[in-house]
Amino acid sequence: MYIRVGWRLWGVLCVVLLMWSVPVASAWASAKYKFALIIGHNKGKGLPTLRFAEKDARRVAGLLKELGEFRKGHIKVLLRPTRKTLKKTLLDFQRKFAKLPKEKVTFLFYYSGHSKPTHFQLGDDKYMFSDLMGTIKKLPAGLRLMIVDSCYSGQLTLAKGKERRASGKGAAVVDISDWQQSQGPRVEGLALLASSGENEQSYESNQLRSSFFTSSLLAGLRGAADSNNNQEVTLNEVYQYTKRQTVVHSTKHNVPVQRPVFLWELRGKDSVILTKVAQASARVAFERGIKGHCFLLQRHEIIHEFAKEANRRVVVGVRSGKYEIQLRRKGWVAVHYATIKARQRYLIKSSSVKWKFVGTKQGIRGRGSRPSMFGVGMLLDYTPLGSLGIHGIGLTLAMDLRNIVRVGLRYQFTFLNTDEIPHVIHEMGLRVGVGNKFHFANTDIWLGALLEPRLTIRQLSGTKTYANVGVLFGGSVQLNYYLSPDLSVRMSFSGGGIATFYYPTAQLKPAFDFSAGVILHL
């Protein structure tokens, strides 16, 4: 009796737990009718012709078909449309949506092309920002998403006269947490992701074959933005990743910083899932220990690029085929060749990444590899011949400033000395070197001149202590062997002369020292 009742209760409990364990469908995934209008236009009257706006539009459309769960025929692509064509297309969507239940309709608008501070420049035609915002706001769709990649696109956040809640270039218009506290699970309303602030320009890259913004957007949608590794990329995740990477791209080029902005007018608590990485025909996974900027190439052309951070697993959706996978860090590159089959999850392990130094000038202009800005480490010193002693040992806190300057804060202790009076010697100095670095495979050699003011304290066996100042001058050769892009083993050889001052005379002697240790390159 008790056993039967217990199993019945257990069965009811399992049903309840199962119902609770089924995740609430996202606003995006639960939408029965999902439509997208994708626009690309390379031309703009009085403006230089863009190279990749139309290509970016095709790539966004292809990714939405691949990972966005759009039905066939629900994605409309317009390349080089006129104002009349765009207006008619939006009217067609409005008529189509009017026949459908509004709460089950989701509409995504994407534009890549020229803009001026008040309007899109569609070749010779103008389409006012205010007209577009007004039209999309009136569409009978429960959820409307706008992604705009053009100069001054942040003006769209002001096209309706909405007051900004944060100041400064590129500041978000509405805090992301605002809509998450709204009542009701279903997300409804309008969200806008703009590629730049209202007074900023947007840029494209010849080597990326794309704009900074759309390249980052595509990478995020393919899985690079999936911060919780659940194989689903949300609107919030895409915004955070795209903003961060667009800023990074622009700072590594000789252009002003480009900062995407976001406008939220959403109600509800569900996540807005834009893509599902598991829907890809194949996937590439990178282990946590891998760090760098990743490029996936086919036939020497970049197909995908994204940032891979340390201590985070990344899985990106790709199409099956042969790939050259490059990882780049501070002048280092690791190349991996892979044939990825359909439905395969191809894993790249940390142990399979073999770094090779290729120099700081390889890569596109202002991007990718760059020299280490700063290095710090600890060296063990040995001085066979010094100013007043021989066979001294000590420590150096070494600091590198780019490829030119070497700084060392040194301490040395010597038992044996060249004088007849027995005493121990403590020496402290600040060594500064100026020179240049030369690279050879996984090794670099730094050659330079050095100068080191130092304080020498002589302590006799009794109670007497003497202090003298001096200066060491000469040259130095430093050899670094890189164990990884961030860590090297250093051997240093320095020699020259050292002048020690005694009142009222000075003594000049030769000096040599050797150092070995590790350097962390930041």
Residue 195: the pLDDT is: 96
Q: Is residue 509 domain-shared with residue 472, that is, in the same domain?
A: yes
Residue 1: the pLDDT is: 32
Give 160's pLDDT tier (boundaries 50, 70, 90): very low
Q: Is residue 347 domain-shared with residue 381, that is, in the same domain?
A: no
Q: Which amino acid is at 88?
A: K
Strand pairing class (143-149; 465-484): unpaired
Which of residues 171 and 51 earns the better pLDDT score? 51
Residue 171: the pLDDT is: 32
Encode pLDDT of 366-396 as tens digits. Answer: 223 334 568 899 999 998 876 666 778 899 9
Dist CA 147 CA 176 (whole Å): 16
Residue 357: the pLDDT is: 74
Give 506's pLDDT tier (boundaries 50, 70, 90): confident
Q: Which of 47-56, 100-109, 342-351, 419-428 is least confident?
A: 419-428
Q: Would you say residue 363 has pLDDT above 60?
A: no
Q: How much of the chain exceeds pLDDT 70, in percent? A: 83
Give 355's pLDDT tier (boundaries 50, 70, 90): confident
Residue 231: the pLDDT is: 94
Dist CA 201 CA 52 (whole Å): 16
Residue 422: the pLDDT is: 66
- CB count within 10 Å of CB 201 equals 16
Residue 388: the pLDDT is: 67
When pLDDT is averaged across residues 32-56 and rounded to a whole number, the result is: 94
Helix (H, G, I), strand (E, B) or coil at 92: helix
Give 207's pLDDT tier (boundaries 50, 70, 90): confident
Dist CA 152 CA 304 (whole Å): 26
Residue 345: the pLDDT is: 93
**Is the pTM of the predicted complex or chain greater than 0.85?**
no
The structure tokens 């280490």 sit at 372
Q: Would you say residue 430 has pLDDT above 90?
A: yes
When pLDDT is averaged across residues 154-158 and rounded to a whole number, the result is: 89
Encode pLDDT of 450-469 as tens digits. Answer: 999 989 887 776 667 888 89
Q: Is residue 247 domain-shared with residue 384, that is, in the same domain?
A: no
- CB count within 10 Å of CB 510 equals 12
- CB count within 10 Å of CB 350 equals 11
Question: In whole numbers, what is the pLDDT of the chain averaged over residues?
Answer: 83
The structure tokens 């629900």 sit at 74
Q: Is residue 87 domain-shared with residue 218, that is, in the same domain?
A: yes
Q: Which of 146-150, 173-177, 194-198, 321-325 is least confident?
A: 173-177
In angstroms, what CA-CA distances link 377 with 39, 143, 427, 428? 52, 54, 20, 18
Query: Which structure tokens are listed for 410?
Result: 């040194």
Q: Would you say residue 90 has pLDDT above 50?
A: yes
Q: Would you say residue 6 has pLDDT above 50?
A: no
* 241 membership: H or E segment, kind and range: helix 235-251
In a domain, 336, yes or no: yes
Give 493's pLDDT tier (boundaries 50, 70, 90): very high
* 242 membership: H or E segment, kind and range: helix 235-251
Q: Is residue 73 domain-shared with residue 180, that is, in the same domain?
A: yes
> Residues near 290 by Cβ (< 8 Å), separated by ≥ 6?
308, 310, 327, 348, 350, 353
Count H helices, E strands: the chain?
Answer: 8, 30
- Terminal CA-to-CA distance of the chain, rounded, Å? 70
In angstroms, what CA-CA distances link 125 with 86, 109, 111, 403? 11, 19, 15, 51
The CATH number of the domain where 195 resides is what?
3.40.50.1460
List residues bridging with 427 in a β-sheet.
412, 456
Give 230's pLDDT tier (boundaries 50, 70, 90): very high
Residue 421: the pLDDT is: 58
Which of residues 164 and 327 earns the better pLDDT score? 327
Q: Would you say residue 213 has pLDDT above 70?
A: yes
Choose from 15-24, 246-255, 279-288, 345-354 the range with maximum mean pLDDT. Answer: 279-288
Q: Is residue 341 domain-shared with residue 388, that is, in the same domain?
A: no
Q: Which amino acid is at 435?
A: G
Dist CA 44 CA 339 (whole Å): 41
The CATH number of the domain where 308 resides is what?
2.60.40
Last residue of a domain, one of 297, 326, 357: 357
**C-alpha 332: how far from chain center:** 16
Helix (H, G, I), strand (E, B) or coil at 356: strand
In a domain, 14, yes or no: no
Give 237's pLDDT tier (boundaries 50, 70, 90): very high
Q: Is residue 506 domain-shared with residue 469, that is, in the same domain?
A: yes
Dist CA 152 CA 201 (whole Å): 6
**C-alpha 154: how far from chain center:** 22
In a domain, 172, yes or no: yes
Do residues 123 and 82 lie in contact, with contact meaning Cβ atoms separated by under 8 Å? yes
Dist CA 172 CA 154 (whole Å): 10
**With left for phi above 0 and alpha for psi between -120 and 50, is residue 387 left, alpha or beta?**
alpha
Do residues 262 and 239 lie in contact, with contact meaning Cβ atoms separated by under 8 Å? yes
Q: Is residue 325 domain-shared with residue 386, that is, in the same domain?
A: no
Last residue of a domain, one of 240, 273, 306: 273
The structure tokens 């320095």 sit at 494
In angstroms, what CA-CA distances link 276 with 150, 213, 280, 296, 406? 27, 21, 8, 20, 50
Dist CA 132 CA 222 (whole Å): 28
Q: Would you say residue 110 has pLDDT above 90?
A: yes
In a domain, 189, yes or no: yes
Last residue of a domain, one of 226, 256, 273: 273
**With left for phi above 0 and alpha for psi between -120 and 50, is residue 177 left, alpha or beta?**
alpha
Query: Which structure tokens are listed for 30?
Result: 């639960």
Q: Is residue 181 domain-shared with residue 76, that is, in the same domain?
A: yes
In a domain, 1, yes or no: no
Strand pairing class (188-194; 143-149): parallel
In a domain, 378, yes or no: yes
Q: Which amino acid is at 254?
A: N
Dist CA 467 CA 501 (whole Å): 10
Dist CA 91 CA 136 (whole Å): 10
Q: Is residue 312 domain-shared with residue 388, that is, in the same domain?
A: no
Burial (CB < 10 A; 0-12, 13-18, 19+), residue 14, is exposed
Residue 420: the pLDDT is: 57
Which of residues 398 and 422 earns the better pLDDT score? 398
- CB count within 10 Å of CB 433 equals 23
Q: Which amino acid is at 336?
A: H
The vertex-75 CA angle with 63 and 92, nearest 5°, equals: 160
Containing domain of residue 178, as a range? 26-273
Q: Would you say residue 24 has pLDDT above 50?
A: no
Query: Which structure tokens are listed for 43?
Result: 């031309």
Give 499's pLDDT tier (boundaries 50, 70, 90): confident
* 133 membership: H or E segment, kind and range: helix 129-138
Encode pLDDT of 257-299 as tens digits. Answer: 999 999 988 887 778 999 999 999 999 999 998 998 999 999 8
The CATH number of the domain where 503 resides is what?
2.40.160.20
Q: Is residue 124 domain-shared with residue 38, that is, in the same domain?
A: yes
Query: Which structure tokens are listed for 427?
Result: 């020496």
Give 168's pLDDT tier (boundaries 50, 70, 90): very low
Burial (CB < 10 A; 0-12, 13-18, 19+), residue 123, is middle
In a domain, 314, yes or no: yes
In a domain, 463, yes or no: yes
When pLDDT is averaged across residues 309-318 and rounded to a whole number, the result is: 91
Q: Is residue 96 domain-shared with residue 235, that is, in the same domain?
A: yes
Dist CA 484 CA 13 (whole Å): 54
Number of structural domains the chain divides into: 3
